[in-house]
């Protein structure tokens, strides 16, 4: 194992939305940047995702005369926190949520200015009270939008390189990172990268690391399947924790039925009786509850050949293999449901789509197929429904400059975080469209802060020395959470 050394003003670990935005912002501020990426391309999970992004008071909303503002978004976000607190320990950061709300319109402007195109709003009335979640035309637009930044003379990208631990000086300042680079011939190379100004943690979540999830979840959940790239191992969480970073919301790993939201626009879900049983695009927790309530806890997403060809990449990511057949009765036989029921269910769905109604009369589904296209072209496909996870909400407490805060409430000099390494905004991510948009938005702040070596002052509140609430306080909290 050989070794090499590099130095830069800013070191960015991970090149998903948060990392791409951090690299672009730091380079635009005149910083010399080294990006460290475990994969062979930039983009992370977002290029394989559905591509829904939420923006507050964006030009897209203005073009359609949709009024939005910070306070409306915060109310929607708080509603999601209240729901999540019924099942998880949740800490949200209202200041960070407000920062996102103020900065997200600029993210929309930057993305569209770089050639990213959004086709339509995706209605989620139970989460976003107004339309603000937009669908990107092609998720690989994100990679193409930021690739030029990684080709700048001031930016060096280390692909197939995994950060292992952070370096600190005698004062506790983070000064760089030790990484391991895949040489491509079965050997590895140790790379030490010195950061003159700061390091940005943007390595994604920890959903692909069952051993880490086991520390925060019951085993039957921690070992369940996940959707996405396998490099979301919590590397940034572990490295930041090793230098004192304060992690929050680590148990907030909401279960969901593993499927791309883009696929459920075009699919219906049927149970063992061959009939629909819920709003396929409804709130994640409702989908899980609906599936678990079915006989045998079994269900299938059903769609046609047009959708199968268009969304093949998303289908191959599903945890169980798809089943196809030339006709609906043949498909019914293959998955073990009554043929007449499945045919009737599909015909009923197609009749609704052939009309003009905007809300499915059976279950209230409002996220409909583009162009109201029907399930009509054989062969037809069914994919088993499986409960697992897509995302984790745990991450570090940060300042408004995205500087990581330690367990004693002190900002850690030289260490910043973005994307799924940050907890405060992800506490409201079940709104939909927050993770990618939040990564781009707060990643931009983190990259700029690291380039300018911004150091926020502490201390910030901690749990150290906190006392138990009084009986009166506890009763008030229960009243607030239950609405009694």
Q: Return the pLDDT at 471.
A: 53
The Cβ of residue 156 has, within 10 Å, a number of other Cβ atoms equal to 16
CATH (one of 3.40.50.620, 3.40.50.720, 2.140.10.10, 3.90.700.10) for 257-388: 3.90.700.10
Domain 2-252+390-452 in CATH 3.40.50.300? The answer is: no
pLDDT band at 86 (very low <50, low <70, confident <90, very high): confident
Compute the half-sphere exposure of residue 415: CA atoms within 13 Å on the CB side of its CA: 33
The answer, yes or no, to whether the previous bond of 379 is cis (omega within 30 of 0) is yes
Per-residue pLDDT for 66 more than 70? yes
- How would residue 470 be classed by pLDDT, with cut points 50, 70 and 90? low
Ranges assigned E (strand) in 16-111: 33-36, 52-54
How much is the pLDDT for 396?
98
Specify whether the CB–CB gap between 269 and 276 falls below 8 A: yes
The tokens describing 160, both together, are: 């197939």
Query: DSSP string spanning 247-292?
Result: EE-TT----EE---HHHHHH-EEE-TTSSB-S-TTS-HHHHHHHHH
Percent of the chain with pLDDT over 90: 82
Q: What percent of the chain has pLDDT over 70?
A: 96
Residues whose CB is less than 8 angstroms from the CB of residue 313 and which lie 6 or more positions away in sequence, other chains included: 48
Find all residues with CB under 8 Å of 475, minimum gap 6, and list them: none
Does residue 387 have a cis peptide bond before it, meaning omega lies within 30 degrees of 0?
no
Q: Per-residue pLDDT tens for 30-53? A: 999 999 999 999 999 999 888 999
Domain ranges in the chain with CATH number 3.50.50.60: 2-252+390-452
Indicate if the pLDDT at residue 480 is higher than 50: no
What is the residue whose two structure tokens read 């499986």?
Answer: 386
In the chain, CATH 3.90.700.10 sits at 257-388
Say what the pLDDT of residue 333 is: 97
Residue 476 has pLDDT above 50, yes or no: no
- Give the tens place of pLDDT for each residue, 153-181: 999 999 999 999 999 999 999 999 999 99
pLDDT attached to residue 227: 81
């Amino acid at each position: 194992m050989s070794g090499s050394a590099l130095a830069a003003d800013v070191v960015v670990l991970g090149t998903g939305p948060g990392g791409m935005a951090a690299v672009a912002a730091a380079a635009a501020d005149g910083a010399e940047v080294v990006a460290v990426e475990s994969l062979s391309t930039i983009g992370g999970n977002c290029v394989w995702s559905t591509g829904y992004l939420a923006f507050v008071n964006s030009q897209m909303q203005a073009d359609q005369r949709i009024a939005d503002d910070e306070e409306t978004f915060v109310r929607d976000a708080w509603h999601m926190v209240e729901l999540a607190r019924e099942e998880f320990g949740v800490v949200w950061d209202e200041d960070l949520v407000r920062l996102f709300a103020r900065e997200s319109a600029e993210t929309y402007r930057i993305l569209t200015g770089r050639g990213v195109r959004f086709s339509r709003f995706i209605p989620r009335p139970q989460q976003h009270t107004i339309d603000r979640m937009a669908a990107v035309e092609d998720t690989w637009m994100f990679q193409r939008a930021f690739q030029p930044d990684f080709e700048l003379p001031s930016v060096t990208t280390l692909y197939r390189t995994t950060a292992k631990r952070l370096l600190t000086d005698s004062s506790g300042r983070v000064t760089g990172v030790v990484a391991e680079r895949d040489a491509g011939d079965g050997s590895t190379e140790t790379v030490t990268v010195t950061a003159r100004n700061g390091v940005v943690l943007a390595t994604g979540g920890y959903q692909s690391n069952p051993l880490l999830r086991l520390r925060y979840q019951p085993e039957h959940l921690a070992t369940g399947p996940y959707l996405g790239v396998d490099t979301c191992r919590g590397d940034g969480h572990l490295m930041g924790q090793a230098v004192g970073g304060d992690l929050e919301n680590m148990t907030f790993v909401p279960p969901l039925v593993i499927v791309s939201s883009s696929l459920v626009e075009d699919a219906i879900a049927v149970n063992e009786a061959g009939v629909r049983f819920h709003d396929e695009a409804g709130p994640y927790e409702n989908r899980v509850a609906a599936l678990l309530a079915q006989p045998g806890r079994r269900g299938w997403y059903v769609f046609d050949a047009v959708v199968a060809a268009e969304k093949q990449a998303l289908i191959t990511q599903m945890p169980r293999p798809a089943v196809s057949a030339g006709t609906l009765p043949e498909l019914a036989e293959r998955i073990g449901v009554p043929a007449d029921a499945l045919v009737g269910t599909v015909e009923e769905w197609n009749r609704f789509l052939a009309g003009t109604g905007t809300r499915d009369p059976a279950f209230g589904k409002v996220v409909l197929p583009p162009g109201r296209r029907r399930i009509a072209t054989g062969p037809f496909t069914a994919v088993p429904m499986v409960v697992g996870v897509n995302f984790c909400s745990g991450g570090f407490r940060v300042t408004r400059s995205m500087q990581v805060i330690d367990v004693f409430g002190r900002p850690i000099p030289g260490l910043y975080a973005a994307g799924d390494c940050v907890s405060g905004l992800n506490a409201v991510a079940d709104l939909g469209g927050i993770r990618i948009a939040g990564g781009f938005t707060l990643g931009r702040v983190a990259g700029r802060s690291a380039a300018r070596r911004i150091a926020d002052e502490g201390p910030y509140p901690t749990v150290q020395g906190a006392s138990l609430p009084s009986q009166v306080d506890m009763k008030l909290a229960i009243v607030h959470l239950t609405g009694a």
